[in-house]
Amino acid sequence: MAMNVTSAVRFYVDKIVSDPKISGMKVLLLDAVTTQVVAMVYSQSQILEKEVYLVERMDADHEPMQHLKAVYFIRPTKENIQTLCAEISKPRFLEYHVFFCSICPNELLQQLAAADEHEVVRQVHEYYAEFCAVNEDFFSANCPDTLQLALPRPPAAAKKLLSRNRDAVLSVLLALKKKPSTIRYAGSSSTARELAMDISAQIQADQIFDFRRQQGPVLLILDRRDDPVTPLLSQWTYQAMVHELLGLNDNRVVLKGAPGVRKDLEEVVLSCTQDDFFAKNRFSNFGDLGVAVKNLMDEYQKATRLNENINSIEDMQAFLERYPAFRSQSLNVSKHVAVLSELARLVDVYHLLDVSQFEQELACADDHVLHYRELMEKLTSSRIKAPDKLRLAMLYALRYEDMGNLRAVKSRLLDSGLTPEKVDLLDALLQYSGNAARGPGLFGQDNLMSKLGKQITTTLQGVENVYAQHVPLMMTAVEAALKGKLKDSVYPAVGPSGGKSQEVIVFMVGGVTYEEACKVAELNASLPSGNVVLGGSFVHNSTSFLEELNLSFGPASQERGLGAFR
What is the three-state SS of 361-413?
HHHHCCCHHHHHHHHHHHHHCCCCCHHHHHHHHHHHHHHCCCCCCHHHHHHHH
pLDDT digits (tens, 9 = 90+) for 150-177: 999 888 889 999 999 999 999 999 999 9
pLDDT digits (tens, 9 = 90+) for 184-200: 999 999 999 999 999 99
pTM for the predicted model, two decimal places: 0.92
Confidence of residue 414 (pLDDT cuts 50, 70, 90): very high
DSSP letter (8 states) at residue 237: B
Check: CB of residue 89 under 8 Å from CB of residue 96.
Answer: no
Confidence of residue 565 (pLDDT cuts 50, 70, 90): low
Confidence of residue 382 (pLDDT cuts 50, 70, 90): very high
Per-residue pLDDT, 460: 38
Per-residue pLDDT, 299: 84
SS3 (DSSP) at 535: strand
SS3 (DSSP) at 212: coil
Per-residue pLDDT, 303: 74
Confidence of residue 306 (pLDDT cuts 50, 70, 90): low
Residue intervals in the chain for CATH 3.40.50.1910: 134-227+472-559
Q: What percentage of residues in the chain have a pLDDT greater than 70?
A: 91
If 0-12 CB within 10 Å is exposed, 13-18 middle and 19+ buried, where does residue 21 land? Answer: exposed
Fold of 5-128: Rossmann fold (3.40.50)
Sequence-ordered list of residues with C-beta below 8 angstroms from that of 352, at least 6 positions apart, any chain = 234, 346, 388
Using the predicted structure, report yes or no on whether residue 466 has a pLDDT greater than 90: no
Check: CB of residue 326 under 8 Å from CB of residue 307.
Answer: yes
Q: What percentage of residues in the chain have a pLDDT greater than 90?
A: 77
Confidence of residue 312 (pLDDT cuts 50, 70, 90): low
Share the mean pLDDT of the chain: 91
Confidence of residue 322 (pLDDT cuts 50, 70, 90): low
Per-residue pLDDT, 462: 43
Residue intervals in the chain for CATH 3.40.50.2060: 5-128
SS3 (DSSP) at 57: strand
Check: CB of residue 513 under 8 Å from CB of residue 230.
Answer: yes
pLDDT digits (tens, 9 = 90+) for 122-154: 999 999 999 999 999 999 999 999 999 999 988
Check: CB of residue 274 under 8 Å from CB of residue 554.
Answer: no
Question: Cα separation of 241 and 504, whole Å?
Answer: 26
pLDDT digits (tens, 9 = 90+) for 480-499: 999 999 999 999 999 877 76
Per-residue pLDDT, 321: 62
End-to-end CA distance of the chain: 51
Confidence of residue 214 (pLDDT cuts 50, 70, 90): low
| pLDDT mean over 411-439 | 96
What is the torsion angle, in degrees rounded to the nearest 10, for the CA atoms of residue 108, residue 111, residue 117 and residue 120? -10
Q: How far lies 221's CA from each of 4, 288, 450, in Å?
A: 19, 34, 30
Q: Of 48-52, 285-289, 513-517, which has the strongest mean pLDDT?
A: 513-517
CA 82 vs. chain centroid, Å, equals 30
Burial profile 393-428: b = 16 or more Cβ within 10 angstroms, e = fewer: bbbbbbbbeeebebeebbebbeebebeeebbbbbbb
Per-residue pLDDT, 447: 40
Using the predicted structure, report yes or no on whether residue 412 has a pLDDT greater than 60: yes
Per-residue pLDDT, 530: 79
Sequence-ordered list of residues with C-beta below 8 angstroms from that of 99, at least 6 positions apart, any chain = 12, 16, 71, 72, 73, 74, 124, 125, 126, 127
pLDDT digits (tens, 9 = 90+) for 71-120: 999 999 999 999 999 999 999 999 999 999 999 999 999 999 999 999 99
| pLDDT mean over 55-66 | 91
Check: CB of residue 535 under 8 Å from CB of residue 506.
Answer: yes
Using the predicted structure, report yes or no on whether residue 358 has a pLDDT greater than 60: yes
| pLDDT mean over 18-36 | 94
Question: Cα separation of 221 and 535, whole Å?
Answer: 10
Using the predicted structure, report yes or no on whether residue 325 has a pLDDT greater than 50: yes
Per-residue pLDDT, 455: 43
What are the DSSP E strand ranges found in 21-140? Answer: 26-30, 52-57, 65-74, 93-100, 121-126, 132-135, 138-140
Question: Cα separation of 117 and 130, whole Å?
Answer: 29
Using alpha carbons, select from 474, 473, 523, 476 the residue that is nearest to residue 503.
523
Confidence of residue 319 (pLDDT cuts 50, 70, 90): low
SS (H, E, C) 438-507: CCCCCCCCCCHHHHHHHHHHHHHHCHHHHHCCCCCCHHHHHHHHHHCCCCCCCCCEECCCCCCCCEEEEE
Please state the CATH superfamily assignment of the domain spanning residues 238-349 in this structure.
Answer: Sec1/Munc18 (SM) protein, domain 3a (3.90.830.10)
Fold of 134-227+472-559: Rossmann fold (3.40.50)
Residue intervals in the chain for CATH 3.90.830.10: 238-349
Using the predicted structure, report yes or no on whether residue 457 has a pLDDT greater than 60: no
